[in-house]
Structure 1
Amino acid sequence: MSDIIKNSVMDHLLKLQCHFTWNLLGEDVDIDSVEERLNDQLVYLPDATKHRMYNFLAYLKHLKGDHEEAMIQLQKAEAHIQESSITEDSDVRRTVMYGNFAWVFYHQNQFIKSSTYAEKVDTILKQYESPPEKNTLLLDRYGEQGWAYLSFTGKYYQCALECFEQALKLDPEDPEMNSGHAMAVYRMEGFSYSRNTENRSFPLLERAVNLNPRDTVLKVLLAVKCQHMKKYDQGAMLIEQALQEQPESPYVLRNVAIFYRKDKKINEAIAMLKKAVSLTPNSITVHYQLAKCYKDLIRMPTDYNKQQNAEAIANAIFHSEKAVELNRSSVGPHILLAQVYMKANEHQKAKEEFYKTLNMNDIDSQQKQELHFYWALHLKHLRGSESEAVRHFKEVIEIQNPTWFRKTAIKELKKLEETMRLGSHH
């Protein structure tokens, strides 16, 4: 086939709104990890949005170069829309999917089929050219795009937020868009290392829970936020409700565990996470949270708790290493693994993990602060390493982000320099 036809098909494809044109870059994620997450969601999240997950899985298969498997996922998306199309708006749900079909056929060098699917999208767009129909179409697309960004990686949360904001301009009462908007803000707050981050997500989560009374995951996220804002009774009530309504949901269990851990109920948190890990054995989030819980249980060994301490160390290392193995590009588990080695007095391993993590491509300035901070604390307690600790506290302070780590490093540095000064006088 001539290059002219191939190029004209490509011009058409670039105008489509679908996963292939949303700038979801494969190098930003561990693709297997995102796939694992989506497969879990297909099992445990409501049926209504399964076509979106299949659509997204098709794109991930493309990123891995497996276009046959991508086609299978798109056929599943189509079958799901077919089965669940009770409304006349089922064509709306097909636009992103047809766009993805067009791209996959193009990558299989089937340019006529590719062109046919691109034209199917155009036909639907013509039917929905004027409001209010156009709003229905845009609302669905912003939703699909927003959830794709939210499911990809933290770098894309801002893009997700913008999609949901656009959707809410079209329909401020839409339950699903309110849910996505609240989740995007909640996740972005979780990314901020400042200990007094604004609580923008609280009213958004409250509103989303009112609009989605059956969404137990939203309830638990709101509970965690209530806890952060010292609204303990409201938080506890929401946790109780969610556990009654969906005691077998791994998403409920792992967020309840986060609530318990913050409440210092470490053993209860571990019990929840063990149940979650039995349901989703390859969830990086569950292993990461388990590692955090076991790290909290590590104490300075005394005769009576040596056995428990050894178990806590072994479990913390196991789950940290598992989280790293499941997603090598995620910085958080690497930082945690370094911290676990430090607490376990595995100095050499801690040092190796520290430098390896510091040199990761995706590490941001706040994560560097966190890493240098904990490494400095570790060195402070190592005999003869005080001057090294000073150097790393200074590294934290040199990064200008006004985080808790920076504020605490300034205090720690003053204390340490004072101790060293007094020591040199003796």
Structure 2
Amino acid sequence: MGQQQGGDEALSTAPPSRSWSILGGSLANALHTCTSGRPRPFTVSNNSLRSALQQLECYFTWPLLKDDVDLNDLEEKIGYQIEFLIKARIRSYNLLSYVCHLKNSNEEALRTLQKAEEEVKKYHPDEIARRSLVTWGNYAWIYYHMERYEEAQTYVSKVENSCKKLSSTPHWKAQLPEIYAEEGWALIKFGEKHYERAKICFENALQNEPNNPEFNAGYAIAMYRLQYHFKSQRQSLELLKRAVELDPENTSVVALLAVKLQDLRQTDEGERYIEEAMKKTPDHPDVLRYAAKFYRRKGELDKAVKILKKALTVTPNSATLLHQLGLCYRSELIQLKKAEIHPPQEQVDRLIELCIFHFKSAIDKKTTFFHSYMDLANMYAEGKRYKEAEDTFQKAFQVNNLSNNDKQQFYYCYGNFKLFHVKKESEAIEHYIDVLKIKEDSFYSSKCKNVLEKLLEKRIQRGSRDAADFGRLGLVHNLSGEKHQAIKRYEEALALHPDNEDYLSALCELRLSISN
């Protein structure tokens, strides 16, 4: 994992214990407060100040790394959020200030935090301290990086003093639920690897306020993003329904519920929700994006394209919308090929070029857009532009911090490219095996098991004497729970390659598992 840039060394994550009383005491020690409780003149060392800073709850102490996101794309999304989600403006300005810092624009970061303070005064005049702790933490860190240490100390002291007041009763010994939730939202913005932690943040927030609409919305979204980890998607559906029930005016969550209903083949009910969301907020980018996805998957491609083009007039630099347009043209290409055995080549070429144009445009806007790279590579292959396909596959794999699911998708698609387009079966088999080496059940691992079994069986039936073919087939049977078939294939592999340690080890483990 890359280190955070913009003047930061690697930052520690938030401490496991988040008691405000502990925080206050630590800050007091670090800042050398005198017996009267008043801070001494600023003589504290940078190390002591940094120790105090690392105990603040703000974007600088949460695990949000520059390498996890495309900063320009994230900045663009925050801008739309500020415009369309008034209730989220405080946390949006806080996040934007952190992005500005990562882009080495600390003065702009300070101006953005001033806007966050204005929002607090406007919407929470009776809770300024409670609602400003994250903002003040960001201030302290930014001033620290600007080497304006007196200002940094001032904001650390503001946090400390506010925490002491807020923890005057036992209720305030636990972290404020708003801060748990704000961390959860930030983690979602920084990508898939953070979704599990985001879920935990929202669970913690909900312990104190189980009926809070914002916390329920965040929890539902986090669980929706994590849904591929669960055997059942019902939990995600129920959480989204709960969030909509608590806040029916949150149309982005209403639209997400519609997509989830469609996932579960409840399309008619989903369509009622999607139409309701578009009627209430016809220009909301998230609503339009989900609506386009809904109608693309329903097969109403003209309607989906129309919605996306409207959305692009609102947010013209959205990589996600450009990618979605490419998916619409890809769906049209698939429909054309299904409808006609020999579709007009001119129409095929036109749709391939439209897909390529929009996938490339999405990558231009978001250089870390892994899924757009994959779709672009596959479309180059479809157009028999194999050199460009190969180059794009390589760029896709260089995207930082790919999840296991992403890596499995890469190896599966790359294997298909080698097998079906450039006719290199042995290389394809290597890539399918790479999918299985990532020990995570998924759509891609299931597909690879089936493909590998067929390919390897055919090679053996054609008279293969390559021990690797038998060993790989043994691996596939083993992963499928077919232990006796796996033992047979490993024994055949050993007969061709005696003393191979991998085969011996696998065979030994299999025999032991059967005997036990």
The alignment's TM-score, normalised by the length of structure 2, stands at 0.75
The answer for the alignment partner of 1:24 in structure 2 is: 64
Match of 2:409 among 370, 380, 389: 370
- For residue 380 of structure 2, what is the aligned residue in structure 1? 341
Counterpart residue number, 2:301? 266
Residues 299-310 of structure 1 correspond to what in structure 2 (within 5 A)? Answer: 299=334, 305-310=344-349
Q: 1:262 Cα deviation (Å)? A: 2.0
Long gaps (5+) in structure 1: none
Q: Find the residue that maps to 1:205 and give its secondary structure.
A: helix
C-alpha deviation, 1:343, in angstroms: 2.1
Equivalent residues, number: 420
CA distance in 2, matches of 1:327, 1:353: 15
Consecutive unaligned residues of structure 2, counting only runs of 5 or more, are: 1-40, 465-516
More deviation, 390-399/56-65 = 390-399
Question: Is the aligned partner of 1:322 residue 2:361?
Answer: yes
* CA shift in 2, pair 1:237/1:252, >3 Å: same
Q: Name the SS of the counterpart of 2:226 in structure 1.
A: helix
- 1:320: Cα distance to partner? 1.1
Identity of aligned residues (%): 34
Instruction: Say if 1:276 and 1:398 are closer, same or farther in 2 by CA, change over 3 A.
Output: same
Query: Is 1:153–2:196 an aligned residue pair?
Result: no
SS of match in other structure, 2:162: helix
Equivalent position of 2:270 in the other structure: 235
Cα distance, 1:206 vs structure 2 = 0.6
Aligned in 2, Cα 1:53/1:408: closer, same or farther, shift over 3 Å? same
Q: CA deviation at 1:197?
A: 5.4
Aligned residue identity for 2:273: L
CA–CA distance in structure 2, aligned partners of residues 296 and 187 of structure 1: 23
Distance 2:459 2:287 in 1: 49
Within the candidate set 335, 342, 351, 2:390 is matched to 351
Alignment of 1:10-409 (within 5 A): 10-45=50-85, 47-86=86-125, 88-131=126-169, 134=172, 138-189=176-227, 192=229, 198-299=233-334, 305-382=344-421, 384-409=423-448
The Cα of 1:386 is off from its aligned counterpart by: 3.7
**2:254 & 2:375 partners in 1: Cα distance?**
27
Give yes or no for contact 2:377–2:392 (8 Å, CA) kept in 1: yes
SS in 2 for 1:169: helix
**What one-letter code is carried by the residue in structure 1 that aligns with 2:167?**
E
Deviations 1:174-206 (A, max 9, x none): 11101100011111225x5x8x65442111101
Partner Cα distance (2:298, 2:458) in 1: 34
Q: What's the CA shift for 1:326? A: 2.1
What's the Cα RMSD here?
Answer: 2.6
| Cα pair 1:379 1:389 within 8 Å, conserved | yes
Listed one character per residue, the Cα deviations across residues 43-79 of structure 1 (whole Å, up to 9, x for unaligned) are 122x122121111111111112221111111111112
Inter-partner Cα distance in structure 1 for 2:225 and 2:79 = 21
* 8 A Cα contact 1:61 1:69, kept in partner: yes
TM-score by length of 1: 0.90
* Structure 2 contact 329–351 (Cα < 8 Å) conserved: yes
Q: Deviations over 1:118-157 (max 9, x none)?
A: 1111222122114586389702211221111112222221
Is residue 331–residue 362 contact of structure 1 (8 Å, CA) maintained in 2? no
